[in-house]
């Protein structure tokens, strides 16, 4: 059994992605892309099977933990976003000491919460450590998240909250 990221991280394109990131370029990976960025060591931690061992397809609430990044500048600290998730391997894990350092540096960008912005086991759809839904590297130019902002960019798709991520990126390019 091989995970997508375990194979994709060896793809020739990943050398170019790593160089682009090393040169300061913005890299975003959603869902399997997040897995690949972790497997390629462009982001800390790893993604494993959901705690339920089931595929989860739902809309979740996320709290913006760091609004000062080029991926979140169109949001405010504590803003709530509602985005879809669709994954079987979305449980984010990292060693406790690494998680503590990531929290201190502000690398935890998004966290699973309920509609009131509170963390709870029920609001964490995959069992991720510390309810982590998205993280950045230490330079804040690589961002990975399990939810799909690209599937929440217009009302007909169930919401526009994903636009805030893309507006942030577009604003950073100016």
pLDDT in tens for each of the 174 residues of the chain? 334 545 677 788 899 999 999 999 999 999 999 999 999 999 999 999 999 999 999 999 999 999 999 999 999 999 999 999 999 999 999 999 999 999 999 999 999 999 999 999 999 999 999 999 999 999 999 999 999 999 999 999 889 999 999 999 999 876
Residue with tokens 């997040």: 34
Stated pTM of the model: 0.93
| Domain presence at residue 69 | yes
| Rounded CA separation 84/79 (Å) | 16
Indicate which residue of 31, 38, 65, 151 is catalytic: 31
pLDDT score recorded for residue 174: 62
Residues spanned by the domain of 116: 27-172
Q: What is the pLDDT of residue 146?
A: 98
> Does residue 154 form part of some domain?
yes
Alpha helices by DSSP H, 64-132: 96-105
Q: Is residue 161 part of a domain?
A: yes
19 located within any domain? no
Q: List alpha helices for the chain, DSSP H.
A: 4-8, 13-22, 32-39, 96-105, 163-172
Instruction: Let me know if 150 is a catalytic residue.
Output: yes
> Catalytic one among 51, 119, 150, 160?
150
> Is 41 among the residues known to form the active site?
no
Catalytic member of 38, 148, 151, 160: 148
For residue 100, being part of any structural domain is answered with yes
The reply to whether 22 falls in a domain is no
Any domain includes 9: no
Q: What is the CATH number of the domain that holds 102?
A: 3.40.50.880
Residue 1 lies in a domain: no
The residues, any chain, with a CB within 8 Å of residue 37's CB and separated by 6 or more, are 27, 29, 43, 142, 144
């Amino acid at each position: 059994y091989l995970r997508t990221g375990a194979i994709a991280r060896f793809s020739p394109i990943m050398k170019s992605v790593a160089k682009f990131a090393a040169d300061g370029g913005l890299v975003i990976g959603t869902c399997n892309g997040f897995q690949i960025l972790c497997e390629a060591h462009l982001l800390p931690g790893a993604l494993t099977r959901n705690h339920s061992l089931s595929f989860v397809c739902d809309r979740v609430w996320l709290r913006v933990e760091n609004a000062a990044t080029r991926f979140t500048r169109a949001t405010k600290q504590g803003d709530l976003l509602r985005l879809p998730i669709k994954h079987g391997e979305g449980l984010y894990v990292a060693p406790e000491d690494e998680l503590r350092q990531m929290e201190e540096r502000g690398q935890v960008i998004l966290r699973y919460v309920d509609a009131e912005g509170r963390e709870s086991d029920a609001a964490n759809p995959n069992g991720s450590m510390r309810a982590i839904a998205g993280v950045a590297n230490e330079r804040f130019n690589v961002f990975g998240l399990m939810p799909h902002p690209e599937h929440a960019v217009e009302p007909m798709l169930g919401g526009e909250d994903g636009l805030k991520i893309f507006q942030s990126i577009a604003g950073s390019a100016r």
